[in-house]
Structure 1
């Protein structure tokens, strides 16, 4: 079966790329794009260009809180749904407002589609901070809503660097299967990836990024930033490096140890983020500069021919908000194998459903 996938909060297409390239060596099983929604115009252009260039009408750009869902439904029926509901209010980097924030309640629109269309399965994604939001209540409220829509849940905190992704990116992925279907999803094992080279040096340098690659323009660093980086060793940041007094940062209450943090070339990258001011752009291990967007995209496992639309800062945001394509692909292949009756290496979930 080729599952027709609908997406909410689709972002630039990390989930969609993983879904549409999922391959279990059986042409009868796969996932195809049906429709998608996101609120950001550049993001929608990126998604359309790379995922569905021949069907631009299948991507509806607009705020989901004002969306006429019938416009999505009229595009075509779906067998599956994916929604990476916004993580801003659940992230440990932010204020962790949970349901009290602007973005916390947006998961409910995914639940609405589950109720309306009853797809056979779904995949929902959010940050690890969801576990502690609202004193731990947020996750259970979301789980209950999904169960009440008619689904068995298979949540897990995936550490993507353990699945061959060159980035320490930890995300809660919830797979749901309709109660009336006999399939039981298993968490794919990390064992097949135990020997993978997940160093950021390997990801960025092997093979070299083509000279004509898109989204690869460098940021001009100020003399002060160049001087500061010259005192920061690989793996260090602006707070644990031995900086001269005039280069130290007078930042109160900084929550991110990633400020002016250089990558350690022997390790996966630290988490790529989509926003943040000075010092949050991810810094090269030897060159005194921030990474280019193409280098960030490699750490998110987007292929070099995946073109991001918009300004440099817009592209940075898109890349930072995405799900790593390669990580998503592994989970989608496990879903396909579950429905196709093909066994695969699995391991216990680390979140209690």
Structure 2
């Protein structure tokens, strides 16, 4: 059985690649996911998506601001829907405007897709900060709208390191099945970490095995000023710009809050910290022993993109795409659980972080009280 997939805010194609890799076979029937159409406002992300996900169907990727898109109801029938609605206004880093920002309300376009196309299942993705945006009201509103669109949903806060991604990356995923299917998604049990079948995958393993070819795409080495290289030389593995062993004359003159990821070296024996897509000096992620930032290909390795996955655009646009993407291997684990649920295949699971019925009932009671 092939699920035709629509996607909004497709980015470079991390979730799409994971869905493409996912496959479940039971009783002689194979369940897979196939790209049908997608949209993103970034020209470079669309070019990357086309080149790696659907080179034979470039016309199926629509570039443009979804707020100006007039053909949302004429894209073609789908059975599955994935959307990582923009997280800028929900991120824990920044102003955290929630629904009051430019990007917060964009989730509603996904609701329109659910109401119009009625896909059998969907997956929505956003940053962990979504749960606290607008004092928690944004999260409840989004869950309520998804439920009212006719879906039984399961929200959970995932750390992709628990599923074999060499990176500590927490994201909220909301999985929903259409009500008439009478299905409920179970959060797949973590497969990696202390006390589990496999240890965490480390940054060293991801970047060094196998070695990245020098001529690999997106593997341009960063160029630093001598002062930056000297500054980095005093920072041990796993430490950051605030390490006390840095000579006084080289230290950063920063007042107030000191972000832990500024000039932070990787710990080669642990998953990396979160790969990000933006930020100024000191936010580019730093090698555990070499006095330099990582290349985009090394960051892509931490995100589990294969080396043949070619990101389009200039270096900063590539960095943005890599940092904003969903790790394909993490996406694959979730999509395969979705397919197993649909196929009636049991798998190890854990309780979700939130009980959806309790959340929505609590919200109803609060509204009545007010």
Question: For this structure pair, what is the TM-score category when the shorter chain's length is used for normalisation?
Answer: over 0.9
1:242 corresponds to: 245
Relative distance call for 1:277 and 1:254 in structure 2 (3 A) is farther
TM-score normalised by length of structure 1: 0.97
The runs of 5 or more residues in structure 2 that have no matched partner are 357-370
Match of 1:53 in 2: 55
Structure 1 stretches (4+) deviating beyond 4 angstroms? none
Structure-2 residue corresponding to 1:170: 170
SS in 2 for 1:24: strand
Q: 2:31 pairs with 29, 32, 37, which one?
A: 29
1:33-87 CA-to-partner distances (Å, cap 9, x unmatched) read: 00000000000000000000000000000001101134xx434211111010111
Q: TM-score, normalised by structure 2?
A: 0.92
Paired residue secondary structure (1:147): helix
Distance 1:255 1:20, change over 3 A: farther
Map 1:112-191 onto structure 2 (within 5 A).
Answer: 112-191=112-191
Say which is worse superposed, 125-134 or 252-261, in terms of deviation: 252-261
- Check conservation: 1:284, 1:290, Cα contact below 8 A: yes
Residue of structure 1 in register with 2:368 after alignment: none
User: CA shift at 1:114, angstroms?
Assistant: 0.7
Counterpart of 2:254 in 1: which secondary structure? coil
| Larger CA deviation: 246-255 vs 122-131 | 246-255
Which residue is 2:65 aligned to?
63
Take 1:277 and 1:331, find their aligned partners in 2: how far apart are those partners? 32
Q: Is the 8 A contact 2:46 2:63 kept in 1?
A: yes
Q: How far, CA to CA, are the matches of 1:38 and 1:253 in structure 2?
A: 37
Distance 2:346 2:207 in 1: 34
Q: How many correspondences in the alignment?
A: 351
Is the contact between residue 11 and residue 322 of structure 1 (CA under 8 Å) also seen in structure 2? yes
Find the counterpart in structure 2 of residue 276 from structure 1.
279
What is aligned with 1:316? 319
The whole-number CA distance in structure 2 between the counterparts of 1:301 and 1:256 is: 25
Q: Secondary structure at the match of 1:28?
A: strand
CA distance in 2 between counterparts of 1:222 and 1:340 reads 56
State the match for 1:335 in structure 2. Answer: 338
Alpha carbons 2:169, 2:274 under 8 Å: kept: yes
Structure-2 change in CA distance of 1:131 and 1:75 (3 Å)? closer
Task: Answer yes or no: is the 8 Å Cα contact 1:15–1:324 preserved in 2.
Answer: yes
Q: Which residue of 1 aligns with 2:366?
A: none
Q: Within 1, Cα distance between the matches of 2:258 and 2:25? A: 45
Partner of 2:93: 93
Distance in 2 between residues matched to 1:236 and 1:136, nearest whole Å? 33
Query: For each residue in 1:122-148, what CA deviation from the matched residue of structure 2 results, as whole angstroms up to 9, or x when unmatched?
Result: 100000111111111110011011111
Q: What secondary structure does 2:23 align onto?
A: coil
d(CA) in 1 for partners of 2:67 and 2:355?
31
Partner of 1:225: 228
Residue aligning to 2:361: none
SS at match of 1:132: helix
CA distance in 2, matches of 1:192, 1:283: 24
> What do the CA deviations read for 1:274-329 (whole angstroms, capped 9, x no partner)?
00000000000000000000000000000010000000110000000000000000
Residue number in structure 2 paired with 1:208: 211
Q: Distance in 1 between matches of 2:62 and 2:319?
A: 22
Q: Deviations over 1:80-138 (max 9, x none)?
A: 11010111111111111111111111111111111111111110000011111111111
Aligned match of 1:286? 289
> In structure 2, what is the Cα distance between the partners aligned to 1:348 and 1:160?
16
State whether residues 161 and 192 of structure 2, in contact with CA within 8 Å, keep that contact through their aligned partners in structure 1: no
Quick check: 2:164–2:201 contact (8 Å CA) kept in 1? yes
Distance 1:113 1:241 in 2: 53
- Give the CA deviation at 1:253: 4.0
1: CA distance, partners of 2:353 / 2:43: 36
- Relative distance call for 1:241 and 1:44 in structure 2 (3 A) is farther
